Amino acid sequence: MPTFLVLWNEYSDALKWAVAGVVGYLGNAAQTRIKAQRNTIDSQALALKREESLTNTIVEQVSENRDLTRSLFACEGVLLAYHAAAIGARLSVHERESLLAVALTKFDPLPGYPPAVSVLVSRNTPTETADAPVVAGDQAASTADPGAGNTHR
C-alpha cells in the first residue's frame, strides 16, 4: 500500500490533467452531438410546419377546384339547354315553312356542342376521381355533378 501512496504523490497532477482532458473531450463531444440532434429536431419541426402549410394550401385549392368544376358543369348544362332550344327552334321554323310551302330559311350553322376543343376537367382527391366526359358533335354532354363520383371512364 505504501507504494500506491508514493505513486499517487508523484503522478497525481499528471493523472488529474489526463482525466480532466479526457472528461473535457467527452463533454465537448456530447455537447456537439446534442447540438446536432437539436438542429435535426428543429429542421424536422420546420419541415413539418412547411408540410402542414402546403397541405392546407392543396386542400383549399382542391375545394376551390371542386366549386369551379361544379360551376362549369352548371354553365355547361345551361349552354346545352340553349343549344338544344336553338336546334328545336330551327326545326320548328323549317317545319312551319314547309307546311306553308315557303322557301326554307337558311340559318348560319351552330357551332358544335361541346366545342371541338374540349377541356378535360379532372378532380383528384384522396378518395375519388371524376372526369368530365368528352362528347363530340351535337351529342348531349354530361351535366352530372362532379362530386357524385366517377360515373364515366
What pLDDT digit, counting tens, does each position of 39-75 carry? Answer: 999 999 999 999 999 999 999 999 999 999 999 888 8
Using pLDDT thresholds of 50, 70 and 90, give the confidence band for residue 147. very low
Cβ atoms 31, 39 nearer than 8 A: no
| Higher pLDDT, residue 30 or 147 | 30
Query: Could you tell me the residue ranges of all domains in the chain?
Result: 14-148
Residue with cell 362528347: 135
Q: What whole-number percentage of the chain has pLDDT above 90?
A: 42
Strand partners, 79: none
- Please give the Cα distance from 137 to 36 (Å, whole number): 66
pTM above 0.75, yes or no: no
pLDDT at 70: 92
Average pLDDT of the segment spanning 132-145: 40
pLDDT at 145: 41
pLDDT at 75: 87
